Amino acid sequence: MTTVPVGYTYDTQLAASPVSEQILTELLTDVMWTEGDARALRRAGEILLPRTSEILDAWYDFIGSTPHLVTVFRRRDGEPDPEYLARVRGRFERWVVDLCTRDFDSQWLAYQEEIGLRHTPAKKNTTDRADSPASHVPMSHLIALIVPVTVTIREFLRRGASEADDVEAMYQAWFKAVTVSVTLWTRPYAPDLW
């Protein structure tokens, strides 16, 4: 990762997340997060980091071949916007790295909130100056995509693992971390009941 993706603002002055570190601790409890998960996720990061482009190929093949998913990337003429797709892809790659390597602290929370907002009418399209009639990513699809983003990773972990690695432990840590991440992204969709 030598270049910073366009619109990637993790390491800047971000607005604090409305989600406190106390609430984050509760969410980590919900997913049964352990110190072992933290170690397994770090190791998963070492395996996945050189493969982020292939991982995004897999995810984008899936999104691109699924009309109701690609629709959020459509322009006013109905065609998917290649520049918008490419810019989101750069940040999505970086999210894989961040999830495995960053500490789950207030800065991480602030950037998850920013990602969430970028899926809602508050900020969708603005980061990439996309001229898309899709005002938001439907929350239902955001949540349901926990599954493909989780299950596609096992094969990357399996292929990259050495004898000493516990693929199932890394896979489970990934599943937990993805779920917490997506859960945080849903906050702006239902701020009063979240």
Question: In 3D, which of 10, 21, 14, 28 has the Cα closest to residue 181?
Answer: 28
With CB under 8 A as the contact rule, the residue among 14, 31, 161, 167 that binds a second copy is: 31
Q: In angstroms, what is the minimal distance from the CB of 166 to a second copy?
A: 15
Cβ atoms of 118 and 127 within 8 Å: the answer is yes
Cβ atoms of 142 and 155 within 8 Å: the answer is no
Q: Does 193 bind a second copy (CB under 8 A)?
A: yes
Q: Does 147 bind a second copy (CB under 8 A)?
A: yes
Structure token pair of residue 127: 């980061």
- What SS3 class is residue 184? helix
Q: Does 23 bind a second copy (CB under 8 A)?
A: yes
**d(Cα 118, Cα 130) in Å, to the nearest integer?**
12
Question: In 3D, which of 52, 61, 44, 49 has the Cα closest to residue 176?
Answer: 44
User: For a second copy, which is the closer residue by CB, 125 or 183?
Assistant: 183
User: For a second copy, which is the closer residue by CB, 43 or 187?
Assistant: 187
Q: Does 140 bind a second copy (CB under 8 A)?
A: yes
Q: Does 20 bind a second copy (CB under 8 A)?
A: no
DSSP state of 16: P
Q: Site for a second copy (CB under 8 A): how many residues?
A: 40
Cβ atoms of 54 and 92 within 8 Å: the answer is no
Which residues lie below 8 Å from residue 162, measured CB to CB, with a gap of 6+?
none
With CB under 8 A as the contact rule, the residue among 6, 18, 26, 82 that binds a second copy is: 26
Q: Does 60 bind a second copy (CB under 8 A)?
A: no
Amino acid identity, position 2: T
User: For a second copy, which is the closer residue by CB, 43 or 119?
Assistant: 119
Q: Does 164 bind a second copy (CB under 8 A)?
A: no
With CB under 8 A as the contact rule, the residue among 2, 32, 35, 50 that binds a second copy is: 32
Residue ranges binding a second copy (CB under 8 A)? 23, 26-27, 29-32, 62, 66, 68-69, 120-121, 136, 138-141, 143-148, 150-151, 172, 175-176, 179-180, 182-184, 186-187, 189-190, 193-194
